[in-house]
Chain A
């Protein structure tokens, strides 16, 4: 069974204090790993897709990296507007036709204190 574990569950940082969020996964092959941001009362908003170990993607203060067992979301010099829950999801590689079932982690709730 595919599993995604995110840590920590919650993280409080001072503005400007860089850190990393972790997403560990076990999956039957990996077609893609996805990062989403979710604000209170909203649906998840897509950030990145990573396809293979060693791949990196960047967007503003965020950088996502991928190994064969985990992914990190690095946040550099965060601002209060980066406060949100960050979700990780995996799409397994072994599938029947049309299997597009993402398995999500439970997220890391990030709070940036001004």
Chain B
């Protein structure tokens, strides 16, 4: 089974440090999404890309977060500087474009990076 791979699985860091999370989408998928999950807010969309181009990052705090796709096999989410309120699980998901006909590919999620900022 093809999988979305995220690294690291866990990250503990101190406030003010830079954090980089990585994602390898499923080969052939041309959309990549970054979500953040907390108990209070559930899953929130931070940013997404199609064909490596950023389409929407309105859910992301722009002053400290950045998302990129250096190539089709790698997506990154960076936080600099990190703050305790950034503690959450960050998920990457990939898929083919949704809503474009029956049988379109649903989003496939990785197992997330659990970030703790102290």
What is A's interface to B at a CB cutoff of 8 Å?
31-32, 34, 36, 41-46, 49, 51, 87, 89, 91, 93, 95, 98-107
Q: A43-B4, A91-B99 are in contact. Are A100 and B112 (CB under 8 A)?
A: no
A43 touches B110 (CB 8 A): yes
What is B's interface to A at a CB cutoff of 8 Å?
4, 31, 41-43, 45, 48, 50, 55-56, 91, 93, 97-99, 102, 104, 106-112
A34 and B23 alpha carbons, distance in the complex (Å): 23
For residue B58, give the distance in angstroms from its CB to the closest CB of chain A.
9
4 additional A-B residue pairs with CB within 8 Å, beyond A32-B99, A51-B102, A100-B98: A43-B111, A98-B50, A99-B56, A100-B97
B98 touches A107 (CB 8 A): no
B48 touches A100 (CB 8 A): yes
A95 and B48 alpha carbons, distance in the complex (Å): 15
Q: A34-B106, A49-B106, A101-B56 are in contact. Are A43 and B91 (CB under 8 A)?
A: yes
Residue of B nearest to A100 (CB): B98
* The 5 nearest A-B residue pairs measured at CB: A43-B109, A106-B42, A31-B99, A104-B43, A46-B106
Which chain B positions have C-beta within 8 A of A43? 4, 91, 93, 109-112
